[in-house]
Amino acid sequence: MRALGIDYGGTHTKLLLLEGEREVARDTVDTVRLEGLADQVSSFLGDARPAAFGVTVAGTLDPVSGVVGRSANLPWLDGTAPARLLSQALGVPGVAVQDGEAAALAEARIGAGRGSDDVFVIALGTGIAGAHVSGGAVRRGAHGAAGEIGHLRVTAADHACSCGGRGCLETVIGGSQLGARWSERGGAGGTARDVVAAARAGDEAARAVLDDAARGLGRALLALSALVDPALVVVGGGVARAPEWTVEPALAHARAEATFHTLPDVAPAALGVWAGAHGAALAARDAAAARPADASSAART
């Protein structure tokens, strides 16, 4: 089946056309409003007609109605149903999927988690996102709120978190928080990359900040192991690009503190910035397969 993945990002939109698992075409365009997106997609596709598309939403999304609650980066999406609007413009059935969920779905099924049926995907960025993918589907929980690993309390330190809480994992390892923690210890501040560079150069304050971060991530891995017991944890995002300062010492801390736990294998994310587009295409295929037989047979190529 030919499926189109649209990763509708804050500044760039990624378009990916797949035939089964084979890539037919990909392109990156500037992000524009929805009407313009339909034109961008049409010119990307040319004569190629997908059977279905998936589009990511950077924000809150009702998974049943496909209506966006709030998108901080793309405010024109608030209250709209982007998949329905694009579907009308393109004449192709489509589905919307939350962006983090799309990336997790792709990493778990065709990325680093391929071959494993029970995967927890963590994205270490400015915020910390998590998703449990079991049996090929994201487990959202009863209220769509499962997987919020960034807001596990992992430290007695009292740093305020974006969620309103204190001491969350995000406050010790969130991309912008690392620089703040370094400043508090007398460092120069800056991005996560700056903190890692300083640690590599021997800066003791930066090393202490990253040790706190790894300790926090280790506690989160232990909690994950106790509550979810995944076979594999896939870790991606900018902060994970320095695994020797983050993921590897986190695992060492988790092993040192483990009692009854069976720690999961941990692997780096494999799909990079195209994970969201792949996940959108997967969601499109899943939705097409779930449609009634008469509709889906008409949609197959």
The footprint of Zn ion (CB under 5 A) covers 151, 161, 163, 165, 168
Give φ, ψ of 221 to 5 degrees. Answer: -65, -40
Least Å distance between CB 8 and Zn ion?
A: 26
Least Å distance between CB 145 and Zn ion?
A: 13
d(CA 47, CA 81): 26
Q: Which is nearer to Zn ion, 105 or 161 (CB)?
A: 161
Among 20, 15, 95, 12, smallest CA distance to 53 is for 95
Least Å distance between CB 2 and Zn ion?
A: 41
Q: Which is nearer to Zn ion, 45 or 154 (CB)?
A: 154
Q: Which is nearer to Zn ion, 92 or 161 (CB)?
A: 161
Least Å distance between CB 171 and Zn ion?
A: 7
DSSP state of 69: -
Residue 194: Cβ-neighbour burial (10 angstroms; 0-12, 13-18, 19+): middle
Q: Which is nearer to Zn ion, 151 or 207 (CB)?
A: 151
The neighbouring-strand residues paired with 61 are 68
Q: Which is nearer to Zn ion, 168 or 195 (CB)?
A: 168
Q: How far is CA 139 from CA 124, 147, 216, 261, in A?
A: 19, 8, 24, 22
d(CA 168, CA 220): 10
Least Å distance between CB 177 and Zn ion?
A: 10
